[in-house]
Amino acid sequence: MKITPRTTSLQRITTETQINLSLNLDGIGKYKIQTPLGFLNHMLELFSKHSLIDLTIKATGDVQMDDHHLIEDVGIVLGQALKQALGNKKGIRRYGFHILPMDEVLCLAAVDLSGRYAFATDYCPIREKVNDFSTEMVRHFFEAMAQNVGMNLHLQFLNPGNNEHHRIEAAFKAYAKALRLACEKDLRLRNQLPTTKNSL
Q: What is the CATH number of the domain that holds 13?
A: 3.30.230.40
Whether residue 108 is contained in a domain is answered as yes
Is residue 156 within 8 Å of residue 122, measured between CB atoms?
Answer: yes
Residues 6+ apart with CB under 8 A from 94: 112, 113, 114, 182, 194, 195, 200
- pLDDT > 90: percent of the chain: 90
CA 64/CA 36 separation, integer angstroms? 10
pLDDT at residue 70 greater than cutoff 70: yes
Whether residue 91 is contained in a domain is answered as yes
pLDDT at 191: 85
Q: Write out the DSSP string of 99-150.
A: EEEETTEEEEEEEE-SSS-EEEE----SSSEETTEETTHHHHHHHHHHHHHT
pTM (2 d.p.): 0.95
Give backbone dihedrals phi and psi of 121, rounded to 5 degrees, phi first.
-155, 150
Using only C-alpha atoms, the chain has a radius of gyration, in whole angstroms, of: 16
Whether residue 22 is contained in a domain is answered as yes
pLDDT at 76: 98
pLDDT at 107: 98
Q: What is the mean pLDDT of residues 127-134?
A: 96
Beta bridge partners of 185: 92
**Residues of the domain holding 144:** 7-183
Whether residue 41 is contained in a domain is answered as yes
Is residue 44 within 8 Å of residue 55, measured between CB atoms?
Answer: yes
Total count of domains within the chain: 1
Helices 38-51 & 68-86 angle (0-180, nearest 10): 20
- CA 87 centroid distance within chain: 17
pLDDT at 3: 65
Residues 6+ apart with CB under 8 A from 136: 125, 128
Whether residue 193 is contained in a domain is answered as no
Whether residue 125 is contained in a domain is answered as yes
Whether residue 25 is contained in a domain is answered as yes
Whether residue 192 is contained in a domain is answered as no
Residue type, 175: Y
